[in-house]
Amino acid sequence: MSRFSGTITALATPFRDGAVDEPALRALLRRQIEGGVTGVVPVGTTGESPTLERAEAERVIAVCVEECRGRIPVIAGTGSYDTRSSVERTRWAARAGADAALVVCPYYNKPTQEGIFLHYKAVAEGGGLPVMVYTIPGRSGVNILPETVARLARVPGIAAVKEASGSLTQMSEVVAAAGEALDVLSGDDALTVPFMAVGGRGVVSVASNVAPREMAALTRAALSGDFAEARAAHYRLLPLFKALFLETNPIGVKAALALLGQAAPEIRLPLTPMEAPNRAKLEAALRSLNLLTGA
Domain ranges of the chain: 6-224
Residues with catalytic annotation? 134, 162
- 13-41 residue pLDDT tens: 999 999 999 999 999 999 999 999 999 99
Q: What is the mean pLDDT of residues 238-245?
A: 98
- 154-194 residue pLDDT tens: 999 999 999 999 999 999 999 999 999 999 999 999 999 99
The radius of gyration computed from the CA coordinates of the chain, to the nearest angstrom, equals 18
The answer for residues whose C-beta is within 8 angstroms of residue 15's C-beta and 6 or more apart is 21, 263, 264, 266, 267, 268
Whether the Cβ atoms of residue 106 and residue 78 lie closer than 8 Å to each other: no
The answer for residues whose C-beta is within 8 angstroms of residue 255's C-beta and 6 or more apart is 265, 273, 274, 278, 279, 282
Q: What is the pTM of this model?
A: 0.96
**Amino acid letter, 127:** G
**Amino acid letter, 171:** M
- 68-102 residue pLDDT tens: 999 999 999 999 999 999 999 999 999 999 999 99
Its CATH class, for the domain covering 6-224, is: alpha beta
Whether the per-residue pLDDT at 293 is higher than 80: the answer is no
Listed in sequence order, the DSSP H helices in the chain are: 22-35, 54-68, 83-96, 113-126, 137-140, 146-152, 168-178, 192-197, 212-223, 227-244, 251-259, 276-288
- 106-160 residue pLDDT tens: 999 999 999 999 999 999 999 999 999 999 999 999 999 999 999 999 999 999 9
- 275-288 residue pLDDT tens: 999 999 999 999 99
**Amino acid letter, 155:** V
**Amino acid letter, 201:** R
**Amino acid letter, 136:** I
